[in-house]
Structure 1
Amino acid sequence: MRIPASIPAILGLILLATPPARTAVAQPKPAEQSLRVFVPPPLEWNRRTFVTNPALVQTPYDLARANGNLTFGMSASQVAAALPGLPSDLDWNNLRTAREYAADVRYFWLPLKDLPAWYNDLQGCTGTESYAAFLFVRRHLFRISFRLIPDAACPSVSDAAAGLFARYVGLSTDLVLSVRYRSTPAEVVDITDPTETSLIPIRWRMSGT
């Protein structure tokens, strides 16, 4: 059987007009990311599932174990005695005023790197300007505010902030209320005395320089 001379020419035009088949290229898999799991303290519900109570009996000593031997209600001099590098005469009268509060709240602060009870356990990096503020009302400690500020050497402080937050999530809300939030560019972890209800909603805001 003879093939007309026009058939090969037509097939050639079709092949030229057909785009080459694409070769499948294996795409790199995205890097696996691990997510920290925060385990809250167990609760007991009443029979009608309306009311909960802590399933574990925790005391201020449980807070102290996670908190560098500090508990809420301590005076400034007691807190200073438990921390490194602070003068022995530190007390209410020589504390700074925390102006974000309407109440008379006073504080002092220390670089986070100078607080080994917390800093030594951190998994992520912290900026050199990161610090912890110890806040007092009516002469007693009611809040510790960890303020992590990124810098060129540590552009993300999220891992360190998550680690700080994780220390307190497992404690009963009768002992401590913990919250993590962002005050750009800083990340903040506040732990607060749950009895100070009027002061709990107030968050620190980083001011521009």
Structure 2
Amino acid sequence: MSAAQTPAPHRPRLSVSERRALLIEGAWTLMKREGVAAATTRAICAEAGMPHGAFHYCFRSKQELYAELLTGQITGGLAEVWAQIDASADVRETILAIFLAYWDQVEADPQAQVVIAELTVLAQRDAELRELSMADGRSTHTLARTMLRQFIELTGVRSSLPDDLLAEMLLGALSGVTNRWLVSRDSATARAALAEYAKLFAGYTQEQPEP
């Protein structure tokens, strides 16, 4: 049998979740390399090695993919960082360690942060995506609040501020430092700012009295 007659190797049939994961990975790769504007559904499928029809088999719209990109990146990063809590350490040192673990992720893949910034701006100009983004923002806030409660329980402290407010301040501090760094790329100043934020957040806590 000639090379031209050799049958193509069998490819296992992928589930919808596997196809979605490949498309998400392809979208991230494409957007980090060429920007959000370059991420047409056809280009995303080509990057993922799939036929164009696979996109709408897995996602109802490009907006749905965008929303999943935003949520997965933010919540995934928070969950991974929060797993590093050391309940035996000083509260300020523990908070700073969490912030710096988050920061290591930012510096390791700055283009991912650029894509998140692009998608966030895009969400404000697209009615469907804005609604999805708002829902995902609420989910991210809920996750941050839940993790704060875990932190309080693990370290044995209590907060002088409501959980909702503290979670909003936490997310605002991290996103603010990240966005400033994307402009300046001044890592020393970013880390110094995170150290000051750690001191600030530690000031809102106090040890629980012994039972």
TM-score by length of 1: 0.22
Flag the structure with more relative contact order, 1 or 2, with Cα contacts below 8 A and sequence separation at least 6. 2
Q: Which has the larger radius of gyration?
A: 1
TM-score by length of 2: 0.22
